[in-house]
Amino acid sequence: MKKNYILEDLDCANCALKIEEGVKNIEGVTACSVSFVTEKMIVEIEDGKEKEVEKEIKQVVKKIEPDTTLREV
Amino acid sequence: MKKRLRKIIIAFIIFLIAILIGKINFINIDENVLTIIQIVLYILSYLIVGFEVVKKAVVNIFHGEFFDENFLMSIATIGAFAIKEFPEAVAVMLFYQVGEYFQSYAVKKSRKSIASLMDIRPDYANVKQDENIEKKSPEEVKIGDTIVVKPGEKVPLDGIIIEGTSMVDTSALTGESVPREVKVNDTILSGCINLNGVLEMKVEKEFGESTVSKILDLVENATNKKAKTENFITKFSKYYTPIVVFLALIIAFIPPIITKTDMLDWVYRALTFLVVSCPCALVISVPLSFFSGIGSASKKGILVKGSNYLELLSKTEIAVFDKTGTLTKGVFDVQEIKNEDGISAEELLELSAYCESYSNHPISISIQKAYGKDIDKKRIIDSQEVAGKGIISRIDEKQVACGNIKLMEELHLENIQPVDGIGTVVYVAINKQYAGYILISDKIKEDAPKAIQELKKAGVRQTVMLTGDNKEVAEKVNQELKLDDVYSELLPIDKVNKVEELLKNKKEEAKLAFIGDGINDAPVLARADIGIAMGGLGSDAAIEAADIVIMTDEPSKIATAMKISRKTLKIVYQNISFALIVKIGVLILSAFGLASMWSAVFADVGVTVLAVLNSFRALK
């Protein structure tokens, strides 16, 4: 299933890359794309794993960019 | 943002004071005391401007993030303190923060200007219930609701006009600046701006399905489909930082051991390396350039579904066009009526219209349209279709036969010369006497010849036209358009095969674009490197199937799109090469001890800011 997020206050482009890379490595994530310009993240998650994956996504974002808040749209 | 700027200014003033009191000893105090005062001021300045950075670095280390820019900056500056290069340490942190400030300002600014470019999202809809008008958010409006659009307002949802006439500005959707007139029963799309009259309309699509949502969704998500260049930068930045840090370690320790020279000097050089170890300039400016390019295209009525397609478009060398609906208008009109002696042109048209009035064939419809008057069905005694040839009817007392040359041959008519013209010729015989013909054809779009020329100028080597029409029609059209190759009499599956063949015979780097109207050429659009659909406005099929959608039906927009893509790519390459040259230059100079940390931080920050500013140009 596809989920869209907004990464508020995503200020550093390198972090966007790192977040993308980090989220891709989460088990249960099949694809992830972060756009630095639009502050958007699209994640594809295997069905049934949404809950755990979402938790991990939050951790990854917090770890790489503590100032960024993750919001689902 | 303001707080950040204040910190920078205060730190800068303290920094200046620290330097000045070192140069001019105002109050004649002891040298040692003065140095201590200076150091205190430097540290104070450093903490004001750099505390956040150091804090982040420490936090990130606990998270296992070592090569993060905060960490590298902290090491570089603390290292400078350690080797007693105090002004250097402060200056590097100060300029780094100035750069970050500029950078985030520039990024915010460009996000904003791109957003304003796509400021077509309607904020509200005036829903009419009984006689009351209520403002609602467009999401809440349901299909079948009546909404009122006042002059100056954006049309919030797709629908059909039930009352009022007005001029609407469709430029946000099509890039077309000439307003369009709309009246009752016309379809009106969300995103248009109502200019003068009050319009009442019935909603036909929910907000999420309306044109404006679709367009916004498309453009906003376009940067998630990354271009090859972007992926290259991602890979590059993964290796760049560790490599530079590793080199710095080597420079700090190996040369002093071998040459037995002063280690501090080499550490200084190594720290300079760390200053330029962030690939920021590249990582920021490349996606920004692509997005600016996509934004600029959408302003001109060209929707690009991904950065990757914008990149591919710049490499297009073969442009394959579908004929009908793409290069020609796809609307069949009566072009010519040729009557023989004994019958007037009007009469010929009238009888043909009656003869064909039971047929739904596009040709019949265009004859009816040209006739324009109502058909009195009582006059038609009988009407028989002759499959693949035409129609024979009895109108009043006359036998009228309308059809192709085969029908005329079947009727054994004499003195008929097959007519040579672009389009379909309908021969007419009355009471087995040849009476004339009607030529029906499609018109070439006004800007089509120019479009082909412009494409050639934009770097397309080969232009190809595919059509299901016969050879004569295809060649006639091509006399005006002058494409390189024309393939006619193709069935839809043949078009796919032809494109496959062209794809097989081209060079790997040269890309093939197929341009169609998206109606029955979805397989070809999908097969080509880049599928471009024309006249996408309001056609969901076209928006679905293509990689690039031209909202109007002007083929010349394809050349415009190519120009935008080339310009964007040029800016991307400029930024990449500029950033790399400066960074590598600084690395080489500092390895030889020729660049100070000052110049390194200037170079690093300067490159980023310039690259961001340069990527702005893609917006224009």
**pLDDT at residue B538 in the model:** 58
| Catalytic site residue from B158, B322, B521, B604 | B322
Mean pLDDT across chain B: 86
Listing DSSP states for B61-117 in one string gives HHTT--S-HHHHHHHHHHHHHHTT-HHHHHHHHHHHHHHHHHHHHHHHHHHHHHHHH
**pLDDT at residue B396 in the model:** 84
pLDDT at B64 over 80: no
Inter-residue contact B178 to B184 (CB < 8 Å)? no
CB atoms within 10 A of CB B454: 19
- Looking at residues B311-323, what average pLDDT do you find? 93
**B454 confidence band (pLDDT: 50, 70, 90):** very high
Instruction: State whether A63 and B56 contact (CB < 8 Å).
Output: no
Distance CA B333, CA B356 (A): 15
Closest chain A residue by Cα to residue B284:
A13
Amino acid code (one letter) for B122: P
Closest chain B residue by Cα to residue A67:
B56
pLDDT digits (tens, 9 = 90+) for B180-194: 889 899 989 888 889
- Looking at residues B594-611, what average pLDDT do you find? 86
Instruction: State whether A35 and B223 contact (CB < 8 Å).
Output: yes
User: Which ipTM score applies to this complex?
Assistant: 0.76
**pLDDT at residue B9 in the model:** 92
Collect all residues of chain A within an 8 Å Cβ-Cβ radius of residue B220: 38, 40
pLDDT digits (tens, 9 = 90+) for B347-394: 888 888 888 888 777 788 888 888 888 888 888 888 888 877 888 888
**pLDDT at residue B157 in the model:** 92
What is the DSSP-derived secondary structure letter of residue B295? H
CB atoms within 10 A of CB B191: 29
Instruction: State whether B278 and A35 contact (CB < 8 Å).
Output: no
Find residues 41-60 of chain A whose CB sits inside 8 Å of chain B: 42
Mutation target for A interface from B59, B109, B223, B307: give the one with most A CBs within 10 A. B223
**B487 confidence band (pLDDT: 50, 70, 90):** very high
Q: Which CATH number fits domain B142-206: 3.30.565.10, 2.70.150.10, 3.90.1200.10, 3.40.50.2300?
A: 2.70.150.10
Q: How many CB pairs under 8 A join A and B?
A: 63
Domain with A14 in it = 2-72
A3 near B CB under 8 A = no
**pLDDT at residue B27 in the model:** 65
Distance CA B315, CA B303 (A): 18
**pLDDT at residue B162 in the model:** 93
Number of domains in chain A: 1
pLDDT at A63 over 70: yes
Among the partner-chain residues A14, A40, A64, the one whose CB lies closest to the CB of B283 is A14
Collect all residues of chain A within an 8 Å Cβ-Cβ radius of residue B65: 18, 63-64
**pLDDT at residue B147 in the model:** 93
Percent of chain B with pLDDT over 90: 27
**pLDDT at residue B355 in the model:** 87
Mutation target for B interface from A7, A11, A33, A35: give the one with most B CBs within 10 A. A35
Distance from CA of B571 to the nearest CA of A (A): 16
**pLDDT at residue A8 in the model:** 85
Inter-residue contact B460 to B466 (CB < 8 Å)? no
Distance CA B39, CA B364 (A): 94
Collect all residues of chain A within an 8 Å Cβ-Cβ radius of residue B278: 14
**pLDDT at residue B309 in the model:** 94
Mutation target for B interface from A14, A21, A41: give the one with most B CBs within 10 A. A14
Instruction: State whether A38 and B223 contact (CB < 8 Å).
Output: yes
**pLDDT at residue A66 in the model:** 77
Collect all residues of chain B within an 8 Å Cβ-Cβ radius of residue A64: 63, 65
**pLDDT at residue B367 in the model:** 87
**B575 confidence band (pLDDT: 50, 70, 90):** very high
- Looking at residues B204-227, what average pLDDT do you find? 82
Instruction: State whether B220 and A63 contact (CB < 8 Å).
Output: no
Tokens linked to B12: 């800068």
Instruction: State whether A13 and B221 contact (CB < 8 Å).
Output: no
**pLDDT at residue B211 in the model:** 83
A17 near B CB under 8 A = yes
**pLDDT at residue B114 in the model:** 67
**pLDDT at residue B421 in the model:** 64
Instruction: State whether A14 and B237 contact (CB < 8 Å).
Output: yes
Distance from CA of A41 to the nearest CA of B (A): 8
Known catalytic residue at B322 = yes
pLDDT at A9 over 90: no
Distance CA B192, CA B284 (A): 33
What is the DSSP-derived secondary structure letter of residue B154? B
pLDDT at B221 over 80: no
pLDDT digits (tens, 9 = 90+) for B269-294: 998 988 888 787 788 888 888 888 98
Among the partner-chain residues B63, B221, B234, the one whose CB lies closest to the CB of A42 is B221
**pLDDT at residue B361 in the model:** 75
3-state secondary structure B417-445: CCCCCCCEEEEEEECCEEEEEEEEEEEEC
Instruction: State whether A13 and B114 contact (CB < 8 Å).
Output: no
Distance from CA of B279 to the nearest CA of A (A): 8
Tokens linked to B376: 């009195």
Instruction: State whether A37 and B110 contact (CB < 8 Å).
Output: yes
Q: Can you say whether the dihedral through the CA atoms of A17, B604, B575, B620 is positive or negative?
A: positive
pLDDT at B34 over 90: no
Collect all residues of chain A within an 8 Å Cβ-Cβ radius of residue B59: 66
pLDDT digits (tens, 9 = 90+) for A18-33: 888 889 999 999 989 8
Residues from B in contact with A at Cβ < 8 Å? 56, 59, 63-65, 68-69, 104, 107, 110-111, 114, 220-221, 223-226, 234, 237-238, 278-280, 283-284, 287-288, 291
B146 in the Ramachandran plot: left (φ > 0), alpha (ψ -120 to 50) or beta? beta
The residues, any chain, with a CB within 8 Å of residue B492's CB and separated by 6 or more, are B468, B520, B521, B523, B524
A31 near B CB under 8 A = no
CATH for B330-443 is 3.40.1110.10
Distance CA B78, CA B86 (A): 9
**B118 confidence band (pLDDT: 50, 70, 90):** low
A12 near B CB under 8 A = yes
CA proximity to B251, closest of B13, B589, B517, B614: B589
Among the partner-chain residues B65, B237, B288, the one whose CB lies closest to the CB of A37 is B288
CATH for B302-329+445-565 is 3.40.50.1000
pLDDT digits (tens, 9 = 90+) for B517-573: 876 778 888 889 999 998 766 567 777 778 998 888 889 999 999 999 999 999 999
**Domain limits, chain B:** 2-115+226-286+570-619, 142-206, 302-329+445-565, 330-443
**pLDDT at residue B143 in the model:** 92
The residues, any chain, with a CB within 8 Å of residue B327's CB and separated by 6 or more, are B321, B444, B445, B448, B451, B465, B477, B481, B555
**B26 confidence band (pLDDT: 50, 70, 90):** low
- End-to-end Cα separation, chain B, in angstroms: 27
Place of tokens 């982040």: B56
Instruction: State whether B220 and A14 contact (CB < 8 Å).
Output: no
**pLDDT at residue B117 in the model:** 63
CATH number for the domain that contains residue A18: 3.30.70.100
Among the partner-chain residues B59, B69, B223, the one whose CB lies closest to the CB of A66 is B59
- Residue B44 is inside which H or E element, if any? helix B31-62
Closest chain A residue by Cα to residue B223:
A35
Instruction: State whether A33 and B65 contact (CB < 8 Å).
Output: no
**pLDDT at residue B559 in the model:** 92
Collect all residues of chain A within an 8 Å Cβ-Cβ radius of residue B279: 14
- Looking at residues B467-479, what average pLDDT do you find? 84
Instruction: State whether A37 and B291 contact (CB < 8 Å).
Output: yes
Instruction: State whether B114 and A37 contact (CB < 8 Å).
Output: yes
Instruction: State whether B287 and A36 contact (CB < 8 Å).
Output: yes
**pLDDT at residue B25 in the model:** 66
Q: Are strands B193-194 and B166-169 parallel, antiparallel or unpaired?
A: antiparallel
Distance from CA of A47 to the nearest CA of B (A): 22
- Looking at residues B93-119, what average pLDDT do you find? 77
Inter-residue contact B244 to B252 (CB < 8 Å)? no
